[in-house]
Amino acid sequence: MQDRAVLEKKVPASSGDEALITLDRISKSYGSAEILNKVSLNISKGEFVSILGPSGSGKSTLFNIITGLVPADEGTLHVNGEIGYMQQKDLLLPWKTVLDNIVLPLDLKGFDKKASRAKADALIDRIGLRGYEHRYPSQLSGGMKQRASFLRTFLASGEIMLLDEPFGALDSITKGKMQTWLLEVQKELGVTILFITHDIEESILLSDRIYVLSSRPGVVKEEISVEFDRSNKPGRLLNPELLMMKEAIKGLL
Ligand code: ADP
Ligand code: MG
């Protein structure tokens, strides 16, 4: 198949970078339903890696396994660093202000409340929520809620962030702004991001590497290294390579 050729530029062998997460042949079933079948993947410090797959392919289950919420049936998992997990639902508490929601995990860990609030306050401008710190989630737009949720995850994380379809519920205009914003924030804060999406274009735009999962049971069909426009990811949207890669990935799913 001609499309295939676009994906054939093989992923460079792991360059000995510091692996923060390594999964080796992870399998999981719920009762008789096989959800994940021998999934292996890795992510190194500073990378942006996406897990792309149709709904029901076990993506959220994979994150639940990585974070230890759910045990795997088989396989091994190594995590080297502190993980922050932003689940598919934003889970902001409606009765708490934006700032109190953002510092909630730190409060729960028993950290000094004043210091936590100062830490959060210092990043409020970066997520564009200055002036909204003392509002309630219901007074925020979808994109603002996602940004608050992102900052909460970031403050509770060490170096690794797991983001489960963070922009899935947003309209395409807000989504585009959030994607650009996320790339900027990743550069500024120097975090490692493992990102779940079912949106092919989104995965190409944001990622250094993409793992393509098949539908149930989730199996890694392909590992793709996105080499073009690495230093200017927003520019990928205007690059014909994006369209070619998109078609090639469509052919896999
Ligand atoms: P994705 O995030 O890719 O949409 P999920 O990991 O949420 O997929 O779910 C994969 C499959 O596993 C779905 O069919 C879902 O119904 C099933 N599943 C997820 N969690 C459970 C659970 N706790 N018990 C039984 N089945 C589950
Ligand atoms: Mg999911």
Q: Nearest ligand to the C-alpha of residue 71?
A: 1
Model pLDDT, residue 94: 95
Ligand 1, atom nearest to 213 Cα: 3
Model pLDDT, residue 143: 84
60 CB less than 6 Å from ligand 1? yes
Q: Which residues of 61-73 are buried (b: 16+ CB within 10 A; e: fewer)?
A: bbbbbbeeeeebe
Distance of CA 215 to CAs 6, 166, 198, 252, Å? 22, 20, 11, 11
Confidence of residue 10 (pLDDT cuts 50, 70, 90): very low
CA of residue 76 to ligand 1 center, whole Å: 20
Encode pLDDT of 191-247 as tens digits: 999 999 999 999 999 999 999 999 888 899 999 999 999 999 999 999 999 999 999
35 CB less than 6 Å from ligand 1? yes
Q: Best mutation site among 35, 195, 196, 212 for ligand 1, i.e. most ligand atoms within 8 A of its Cβ?
A: 35
CA of residue 99 to ligand 2 center, whole Å: 27
Residue 103 φ then ψ, to 5°: -90, 0
Which helix (H) or strand (E) segment is 245 a member of? helix 240-250
59 CB less than 6 Å from ligand 1? yes
- Overall CATH class of domain 2-250: alpha beta
Q: Nearest ligand to the C-alpha of residue 168?
A: 2
61 CB less than 6 Å from ligand 1? yes
Model pLDDT, residue 6: 55
End-to-end C-alpha distance for the chain, whole angstroms: 14
Encode pLDDT of 82-104 as tens digits: 898 888 776 799 999 999 999 99
